[in-house]
Each structure stands twice: as C-alpha cells, then as structure tokens.
Amino acid sequence: MCRFLFLLSIILIGNSGCTGNNNEQNQDQSRILSAEAAAVLQKLGSLGDRFLVAHQDATSYGVKWNYSEISRNCDIADVCGDYPAGYGFDIGHIELDHTCNLDSVDFSLMKKLIREAHSRGGVITISWHLDNPVSGRQAWDTTRAVARILPGADFYDKYVAWVDKAASFLKDLKDDQGLPIPVFFRPFHEMSGGWFWWGAGHCTPDEYKALWKETASLLVDKHHLTNLIFVYSTDKVPNAKKYLTWYPGDEWVDMIGLDFYDRSGTAFGYTDPLRASLALLREVGIEHRKPYALTETGYETIPDPEWWTGRLLPALRGSGIAWVLIWRNDRPSHHYAPFPGHLSAPDFIKFFEAPETVFEREWTALKQK
C-alpha cells in the first residue's frame, strides 16, 4: 500500500472510547488503529440493545465434520440458515512454529477462513492459549512464568520471540485490497481464575499488567500492527473492583469482556448470575467508555432443549453487550452450539429470530446504515 493510502487508513484512538450506546470517537491517545478497525469498534458500540452472535471455530470444524473444501462448513449456518456475525479463532501453538493450533486447526487454513469470514462481513476475535514459556508445557500448566518473561528476566528473550511469531501471523491477515483485517485480540483471558499460567495465584496483578502492556507494546510499537483491538476479559467475578484487579489501563484496552459459562445445569443457576455479571460489565464499560461483550459462553452439549431462549437470551436482553461468543463445537461430548438434529436446534432458531440477536446477514445490512 502506498504511504498516502496508509496515512488515510489510520486514525488515532484514545481512552475516551465508546460504551454500549455511545458513539463518541476516541481522540486522546497516540496509538494508531486502522480506519476499518476503528469503524467496527465504533459500530459495535452503537448497537443499542442488539448484539452480534459469534461462534468459536465456526467454519474450522463441527461436531460431525472436519474442514474440507466441499463438505458442510458451519454448524450454526446448517441449523439456522445464516452464518454467525462473529468468528473466534485461537492461535495457541503459533509460538512453537507448529503448523496447527492446539485444537488441530492448520494455521494456513485459519488465515484463509479468517479472510473468508471477513469478506462475508464477519467480525474476527482471536484468543491465544499459549504454552507455558518456562516449563514448555501447555497453557494450563501453572508453573510460575509471568515474572520470568518480563523485561530483564531470564525468559524475556524467549517470550519476545514468541510474540514475534504471533505478530507475523496477525500481520498477514489482510483483505483482498491488502488492508489489515480488524482483529479483536483477547490474550491472557480468564486471569481471575487459577487454571492458566497467567492466572490468579501464579502472578501478582502488577506482573499481569506489566505482561499485558509489554505484549501490546511489542505488537503495536515494535511490529506496527494497526488492526488489533485489545479485549480484556476475566472469568466470573463478584464486583467491579475485583474485575479491575488486573486491568492494565485504558491505553491498552479497547473493549471490556467477560467469560461466563453455564457449568452447572440448574445447580448454581445461570441466568440471574449472568445478568448480574453483565450489569457489572456495563458499569465498567460506561466508566471506562468502552464497548463490552460476553466473550465466551455456552452450556456444554446443551442438554436443556430451551437453553437459548429460556436461559441465555433473558440474561442478554437489555444488557448492552456488543456480542456473545459461543464456544467451540469439537465433538459430541464437547460442543456449545447445536448442529442439525440436536435437541436444542429448534430453540436456537427462535434465538436466531429474536429481534435482539444479529447474525451475518443482518450485521452486513446494519453496517451499511
């Protein structure tokens, strides 16, 4: 791209972002964001009571199929006749130079699927279940690592090399015209829980914040990525103070997120606690003037035939979220969206038809307004 076009396509963003219902444009921060990324961020902040429905690995595989050029390619589309409006991907193992991610999705295929999803109008969000850089084991290995990958520490150089690899993947996400595809990047998620090496109990909040800022700065200042919209997402927390424990500051966060699953059937409840958590998210979003989203949810195998309109939708209604991301459809015992013939498929169609939910066709139309 010529320099003139590049200059035209970037804008400055600031820490006065937008809330669920606020169109205000960021102005007071020096970080540059591509025009397309800024536009999607702003659009998502102005949806009012409507929200996008997104699915993790929506087109990479499904419960009864694996990716191939000619087979079915999306469980959600097979159920309701439209693609989700958002797509989640995960780049765990990009740091190891593997050809596939931790869930066996080939990275070149992932790039292709991201480009296709973007050209259909979909929003892209990427998480990163990166291995533990100190032990060399998986993301769930909680050997203390954060303090040892900060600047000056013994594993810093190794970590920088890992970020370089993530950066080169992210930099290669371009549309047909060579413009960078906006990515809602959601690293080091669910830090309020203790299951990942970056989680609570395995580093101090200050170490976590330093890791976030260092990583973001490497991606933006060193690698000049202008397509990343940074999303901070905790797991379930009791209040806003707790939510903000690891918050690295407005400069390096563009969106507020929460991961909240229905893990319990009816035992611990879902709808009311989720509604309360989304109210908390809204409070933080308004305070920090940023849009907010339910960045992961689902009920594994969805054994409740009316879960979509009976439990999820009532919690999301009026919450002001920009999107909800349903987790992945891996196999019969580990999936979160329905597939044709699944007992919750009829109810998912009602969820699809609800006025609040936005899938791909509607999202494309909304963007043109």
Q: Which is nearer to ligand BMA, 19 or 329 (CB)?
A: 329
Q: Which is nearer to ligand BMA, 190 or 254 (CB)?
A: 190
Amino acid identity for residue 89 in this structure: F
Task: Decide: is 102 part of the binding site for ligand BMA (CB under 6 A).
Answer: yes
Task: Decide: is 76 part of the binding site for ligand BMA (CB under 6 A).
Answer: no
Q: Which is nearer to ligand BMA, 50 or 129 (CB)?
A: 129
Task: Decide: is 90 part of the binding site for ligand BMA (CB under 6 A).
Answer: yes
Can you tell me the distance from the alpha carbon of 137 to that of 300, in angstroms, rounded to the nearest whole number? 26
Q: How many CB atoms lie within 10 A of CB 273?
A: 15
Residues in Cβ contact with 66 at an 8 Å cutoff, skipping those fewer than 6 apart: none
Pick from 103, 116, 175, 306: which binds ligand BMA (CB under 6 A)? 103
Q: Which is nearer to ligand BMA, 102 or 167 (CB)?
A: 102
Task: Decide: is 141 part of the binding site for ligand BMA (CB under 6 A).
Answer: no
Q: How many CB atoms lie within 10 A of CB 85?
A: 26
Question: 3-class SS at 277?
Answer: helix
Pick from 186, 236, 282, 328: which binds ligand BMA (CB under 6 A)? 328
Run of H or E residues at 368: helix 360-368
Q: Which is nearer to ligand BMA, 93 or 290 (CB)?
A: 93
Task: Decide: is 335 part of the binding site for ligand BMA (CB under 6 A).
Answer: no
Q: What single string gives the DSSP state of each residue in 201-263?
A: TSS-HHHHHHHHHHHHHIIIIIT---SEEEEEEESS-SSHHHHGGG---GGG--EEEEE----
Query: CB 222 → ligand BMA: shortest distance, Å?
Result: 27
State how far Cα 99 lies from the chain centre. Answer: 22
Task: Decide: is 98 part of the binding site for ligand BMA (CB under 6 A).
Answer: no
Q: Which is nearer to ligand BMA, 235 or 360 (CB)?
A: 235
Residues interacting with ligand BMA, by CB under 6 A? Answer: 90, 102-103, 129, 328
